[in-house]
């Protein structure tokens, strides 16, 4: 009788162990979701890669937008995973990365003749986000929207959001989009999201980061980063005096300079201009080439896409709670640093090795 009772209860106990998302970084969760992310690789490579044990594959989208895809996975307790593909080798996918103008974190983008993506990624009017990745999110959103809300209607309340590399950038933006939808009452308040980005680049400016961190600061979102990986250091960032908060000592610098005696005024004005003008000139160049010109090129990949008007900023910054993986002697032995191997520190095996060593 006792044995029969254990047989009956065992599946329920397994289900219960996965029945609730908990705040805080869990390296086992991070490793499992990293394995989920790398299932986007061609199936011929699957046997050579460690497979996720907890989650079962349920759905894969068609290729959308800038060579984007997303997967849906689920565990035995019904906890879902929204997994976003990273960069591929196509021009469209790399173009989305280098299409690095900034747009307001609330607005709309005309994806095609029949599809306009209305988004809100922050309540802060100063928040700006990467235009290429925001457009990519808009390309997959309609497909994801229908499945996600169907799952919520079925009673699903818990979801992981995950992505590696460009997928991590999209995971940042998707997390913000869904949490704002919760704030606005579109998604029920009892639906819980937990985000594990890995190797994710910088998704927006400081004010986007502030609001994102406000929404996730109680242990609900992380970016796992190998300290030798160059991808989280991108895109290029340029800060000008226009990127500061409205109240700052630089706002009235020219007025203050005019109050100085004649010769000190000439010296200080010259110094100020030499520091201020180059950063503004660089920002305009980045906006011209990585914003407007690349935006026109990207219209070739999306029929009916209309590049949105850009904000005059390139002040990208890191975002959210970073979990830093520091290489050790074993790491350098297993992965000798070869300048020709640009992505050697970005791949699955290096991340899994360092995750195993993490004390958390």
Q: Using only C-alpha atoms, what is the Rg of the chain?
A: 23
Q: Which domain holds residue 125?
A: 25-357
309-319 pLDDT, tens digit per residue, is 999 999 999 99
- CA dist., res. 118 & res. 111, Å (int): 10
Answer yes or no: is 7 within a domain: no
Residue 241 counted as domain residue:
yes
Please state, for a pLDDT cut of 90, what percent of the chain lies above it: 80
CATH number at residue 234: 3.40.50.1820
pLDDT at 254: 74
Q: Per residue in 53-77, pLDDT tens?
A: 999 999 999 999 999 999 999 999 9
Q: Is the pLDDT of residue 282 over 60?
A: yes
Identify the band that residue 158 occupies on the pLDDT scale cut at 50, 70 and 90.
very high
Residue 10 tokens read as: 């065992």
Tokens coding 286: 């980045």
Distance CA 343, CA 161 (A): 24
**Does residue 303 fall inside a structural domain?**
yes
pLDDT at 44 (0 to 100): 63
Q: 196-231: b or e for each residue (b if 16 or more CB lie within 10 Å)? A: bbbbbbbbbbbbbbbbbeebbeeebbbbbbbebbeb
Residue 8 has pLDDT above 90, yes or no: no
What does pTM read for this prediction?
0.91
Residue 1 domain-assigned (yes or no): no
Separation CA 111–CA 196 (nearest Å): 27
CB 226 within 8 A of CB 335: no
Domain membership of residue 93 (yes or no) is yes
* Domains in the chain, number: 1
Residue 163, domain member (yes or no): yes
224-261 per-position pLDDT tens digit: 999 999 999 999 999 998 898 988 787 777 776 777 78
């Amino acid at each position: 009788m006792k044995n029969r009772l254990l047989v009956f209860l065992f599946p329920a106990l397994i289900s219960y162990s996965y029945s609730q998302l908990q705040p805080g970084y869990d390296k086992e969760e991070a490793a499992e979701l990293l394995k989920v992310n790398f299932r986007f690789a061609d199936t011929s490579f699957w046997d050579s890669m460690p497979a996720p044990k907890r989650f079962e594959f349920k759905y894969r989208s068609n290729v959308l937008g800038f060579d984007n895809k997303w997967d849906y996975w689920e565990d035995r307790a019904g906890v879902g995973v929204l997994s976003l593909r990273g960069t591929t080798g196509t021009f469209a996918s790399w173009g989305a990365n280098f299409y690095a103008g900034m747009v307001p974190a609330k607005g709309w983008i005309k994806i095609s003749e029949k599809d306009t993506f209305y988004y809100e990624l922050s309540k802060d009017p100063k928040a700006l986000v990467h235009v290429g990745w925001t457009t990519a999110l808009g390309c997959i959103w309609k497909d994801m929207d229908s499945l996600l809300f169907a799952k919520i209607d079925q009673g699903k309340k818990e979801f992981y959001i995950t992505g590696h590399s460009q997928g991590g950038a999209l995971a940042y933006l998707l997390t913000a989009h869904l949490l704002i939808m919760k704030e606005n009452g579109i998604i029920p308040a009892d639906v819980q999201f937990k985000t594990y980005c890995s190797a994710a680049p910088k998704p927006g400016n400081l004010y986007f980061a502030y609001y994102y961190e406000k929404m996730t600061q109680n242990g609900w979102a992380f970016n796992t980063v190998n300290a030798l990986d160059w991808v989280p250091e991108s895109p290029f960032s340029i800060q000008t005096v226009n990127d500061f908060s409205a109240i700052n000592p630089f706002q009235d610098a020219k007025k203050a300079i005019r109050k100085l005696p004649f010769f000190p005024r000439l010296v200080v004005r010259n110094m100020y201009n030499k520091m201020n003008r180059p950063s503004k000139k660089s920002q305009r160049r980045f906006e011209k080439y990585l914003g407007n010109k690349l935006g026109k090129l990207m219209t070739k990949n999306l029929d009916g896409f209309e590049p949105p008007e850009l904000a005059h900023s390139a002040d990208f910054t890191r975002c959210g709670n970073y979990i830093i993986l520091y290489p050790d002697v074993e790491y350098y032995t297993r992965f000798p640093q070869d300048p020709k191997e640009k992505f050697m520190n970005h791949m699955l095996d290096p991340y899994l090795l360092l995750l195993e060593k993490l004390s958390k």
